[in-house]
Amino acid sequence: MTGPRLSVVIVAFDSRAELGRTLPALVAELEPGDELIVVDNGSQDGTAEAVAELAPEAKLIEIGSNSGFAAGANAGAEAAGGELLLFLNPDARPLSGFRDAIVRPWSEDRGWGAWMGLVTCDDGQAINTAGNPVHFTGFAWAGAHGELLHADLQPREVPTASGACLALPLETFRRLGGFPEPYFLYHEDVDLSMRLRLEGARIGIEPSAMVDHEYEFAPGTEKMRWLERNRWAFVARVYPGALLALLAPALLLTELALIAVSVAGGWGRQKLLANLDGLRRLPWALRSRRQVQRRRTVSAAEFAAWLTPDLDSPFFGRAGSSSLLRLGLRGYWRVVRALLGGPRSAAR
């Protein structure tokens, strides 16, 4: 075996067709001693039977109901026994050489707390994400999405790692308490990555570890409710207090703007429900915030260095391309960064 023992966790929900594409490619990559764990969140389409057929040596955990990605991932990690834990989407098919590449940051002792593979789309012709940027208001998106794949991509640090193909030491994941299960779906990878950054950890991408992802962004669905409620939970849990105080005006203005944007975009109901969810979950967010912030070893300024003022994604439409809005956001962010001061270690 090359490098650490690998535990691959796939959380599936009605994913028979996707696993038919992913499992044969993944099984061909695994080495003796590696393990594959598939968590079935109550599928009704024969997912469990597909796993038994395509990966008979896999460990199948049947939850019996749709508990969400976070809970399913945590259940899979609890059953894992390898040193290196890898979360892989059921529709993220590994390409040739994936296994050797995804363990390389560990084997080369790069000092990364977590890392991702390069997530492609369109049969490996374009980039789905090369690391997810995070706006200072908590929005996150697939970085470099839609760009044509090119050969000169190099290992580097990224703001946050995509959960479509996310690797980290099993011990680290368990020490952090895993993914926040109240999120159910979306933003868990951002939350985990930025909690690691609170501890001073580095997050990277290994571009030679490639998976091809069947990705489609579908706004105006229940997805917008989950994205919005989890964005607020992430900001409330993870942002240092000094940063939260300075961002309060921007967060309020963003909320007011999103009311109009959501109504115009046909997802006003989802936005309203997301806000109600956020209020209901606020006591949990504040309780868990205390635990998260106790682990902080960096200053608010060092944490803020990994956030961006630019809405640099086609998913934001006219807002992302507005030069006036960009100018205003950058100006506001310069003031915030100046008030936070230079990077320094946080007092324990």
Q: What is the pLDDT of residues 243-270, one digit of tens each?
A: 999 999 999 999 999 999 999 888 999 9
Instruction: Indicate whether 154 pLDDT > 70.
Output: yes
Q: Are 146 and 30 in contact (CB under 8 A)?
A: no
Q: How far apart are CA 237 and CA 214, in angstroms?
A: 31
Instruction: Indicate whether 345 pLDDT > 50.
Output: no
Among the listed residues 135, 137, 119, 136, the one whose alpha carbon sits nearest the alpha carbon of residue 127: 119
Q: H-helix or E-strand containing 7? A: strand 6-12
Q: How far apart are CA 303 and CA 143, in angstroms?
A: 19
Neighbours of 323 (CB within 10 A): 7
Residues of the chain above pLDDT 70, percent: 95
Q: What is the pLDDT of residues 88-143, one digit of tens each?
A: 999 999 999 999 999 999 999 999 999 999 999 988 899 999 999 999 999 999 99
- Ordered domains of the chain (ranges, CATH): 6-213 (3.90.550.10), 223-340 (no CATH)
Instruction: Indicate whether 342 pLDDT > 70.
Output: no
| Confidence category of residue 343, pLDDT binned at 50, 70, 90 | low
Neighbours of 21 (CB within 10 A): 17
Question: According to the model, what pLDDT value does residue 319 have?
Answer: 79
Residues of the chain above pLDDT 90, percent: 87
**Residue 180, C-beta contacts closer than 8 angstroms, at least 6 positions apart:** 70, 188, 191, 233, 237, 288
Among the listed residues 311, 141, 137, the one whose alpha carbon sits nearest the alpha carbon of residue 231: 137
Q: How far apart are CA 65 and CA 60, in angstroms?
A: 14
How much is the pTM?
Answer: 0.94
Q: What is the pLDDT of residues 281-324, one digit of tens each?
A: 999 999 999 999 999 999 999 999 999 999 988 778 787 778 99
What is the chain's mean pLDDT, rounded? Answer: 93
